[in-house]
Structure 1
C-alpha cells in the first residue's frame, strides 16, 4: 500500500518554482527588448540585471521560439515576429481599439495632429493605438510605451475618476519625479489637478513631461460608465497655444462620446 501527500493549494514544487522564475526572467528580457528596440547581449544583461551567460540562455530560447531575432554580423538582438503576432492578437480582440480608430482618424483630419489612445496598466498609462498626423514635425509615442500618471494628459484622465484610495495606492504620497519645472510633484497638488480634470472634462499636460510640448486628453467610458481609456492630442506649444485648448478639448470630447457609445456607454 502506498501513501501520497496531498499538496496544499498555492504551494509549488521546487522544480516548478524554478520554471516560473525562468519564465519571469525570460519575459523581463523580452520587455527590455521592447524598450531598447535593438541591443547587444552585454547591454541587455545590464538592463535586466542578469549575468551575460544567463541572459544568453534566455535569449537563445526566445530566439528558437521566434520571439527574438539575432543579427549574426552585428550581434544585435531585436523583437521577433512571434512577439508581434501575440501583440496583434490583442489588437484584433480589442473592441476598444476597433471602436476608437474611426474617431481617431477623424480627429487627425480635423486637427492635423497625431492622436493617441492609452489605457491604465498598474501605475502607468500605456499607449495601445495611434493615428499619426500629417505635420512635418509630429509629436508621437511608440505603441507599448508608457507615461507617468502624474505628468501626462492621459495619465491624469485615467486617474481622475478613480477613488482617492486607488490614486494613493498607485502613486503613493509623493513626492513624484519632476520632469520639468512645470511637473506636479506633490500628492496635494495632484488631487487638486484631478478635481479640475473632473470639473472641466479633460486634462492638460502643459509642458509637464517635456518642455515645448502641450497635450490635451479626454476620457473614454464603457458600458459600466467607467473610464477605460483616454484619447490624447500632443503638439509643440508653438503650434498648440493655450487659446486653442478649450476648442481642441471640445472636439476631442465629441469623438470620445462616439467611442464610448460604441462601447455601450449611454
Structure 2
C-alpha cells in the first residue's frame, strides 16, 4: 500500500514546490496562466492554491483570480537562519565560560509549553547534570524556562501553561502559575533566573536571556552545578559571565539594548 501511494505523494510535493517557485518569480498570477506555465490542469492548480492559501503561504486578491506568496516562507527561512546563527554564536561564548568554570552549559529555546535544549557543553567533572540536545523540560521549574517567560505578558504565561500540571519534582518546585508569575517579575528586574533544586534534587542552575533583533527573548543560556560545588558567594560572578555572554550573542543577532 505504501509503495503504491508514495509516487503520488512525491508528485504532490513536487507540484507544491513548482507552484511556490512560479509565484516567487511573478508577484501576482492567475490560475489559468499558472496552470499553463506548469502544465497542470486548472482544477489541480486551483486545489493546490486553495490549500496553500488555507495554510497561509499564498494570498488571493479579493474578488480576483490573482495569487501571490505571503511572507510566511520568508519568516520560516529567517527563523531557521536565526537558530543556525544562534547556536554558532552561542557556542563560542559558552566555550569561554566552560574554560573558566568547567561546569555544564546549556542553550534552550521555547517549545510549546516547555523548553528544549538546542546546544550544550558538558561539564569536565564526573558529577554533573545529565542531559542531551533535544531533551524537553518544564518551563516552571527551570532557569531557562523562567527567562523565556519573564518578558512575556501574564496572559501569554497563563495561556501557555493552561494545560500544564505543576509536578513537584522536588520540595522546592513551584506549585502554580501564580507563584511563577511572582518569580518572573523578579527575573525581569534582575535579568537572570535561577533553578534552586526545583527540577532535580542537588542541582542548581542559573540562566540569562538572549534577545533577537526585535528585542524578543528567543533563548536562555544556563550554567548548572551540583549544589556541593556551588558557592553562593560567587553567584554574582556566574551571573556576570552569563549576562556578558548572552549580551554578546544578542548583539551579534542584531539586538540593540535601549537605555532605560
- Equivalent residue number for residue 104 of structure 2: 114
The alpha-carbon deviation at position 128 of structure 1 amounts to 0.4
For structure 2, the residue ranges without an aligned partner over 5 or more in a row are: 1-42, 53-79
Of residues 105-114 and 243-252 in structure 1, the stretch that sits farther from structure 2 once superposed is 243-252
Provide the secondary structure at the position in 1 that maps to 2:116: strand
Structure 2: distance between partners of 1:209 and 1:234? 11
Q: 1:237 maps to what in 2?
A: 227
Which residue of the partner structure matches residue 134 of structure 1?
124
Give the match's secondary structure for 1:220: strand
SS at match of 2:208: strand
Maintained 8 Å contact 1:174/1:185: no
Corresponding position: 1:186 with 2:176: yes
Change (3 A) 1:175 1:134: closer
Partner of 2:148: 158
Q: Secondary structure at the match of 2:223?
A: strand
The CA deviation string for residues 112-167 of structure 1, in whole angstroms up to 9 with x for no partner, is: 10111000010111000011221222214200001100000111110111121111
Name the counterpart of 1:202.
192
Distance 1:176 1:104, change over 3 A: same
Does structure 2 conserve the Cα–Cα contact (< 8 Å) formed by 1:119 and 1:125?
yes
Q: Paired residue for 1:258, among 227, 236, 248?
A: 248
Q: Provide the alpha-carbon RMSD of the alignment.
A: 2.4
Partner of 2:23: none
Give 1:250 shift. 1.3
Partner SS state of residue 180, structure 1:
coil
1:174 CA displacement:
6.7
Which residue of the partner structure matches residue 210 of structure 2?
220
Counterparts of 1:251 and 1:226, CA distance in 2: 21
* CA distance in 2 between partners of 1:175 and 1:112 (Å): 34
Map 1:68-107 onto structure 2 (within 5 A): 94-107=84-97
Measured in 1, the distance between the counterparts of 2:140 and 2:214 equals 25
Asked if 1 retains the 8 angstrom alpha-carbon contact of 2:208 and 2:242, the reply is yes
Q: How many residues align?
A: 185
Computing the radius of gyration over CA atoms, which structure comes out larger, 1 or 2?
2
Residue of structure 1 equivalent to 2:35: none
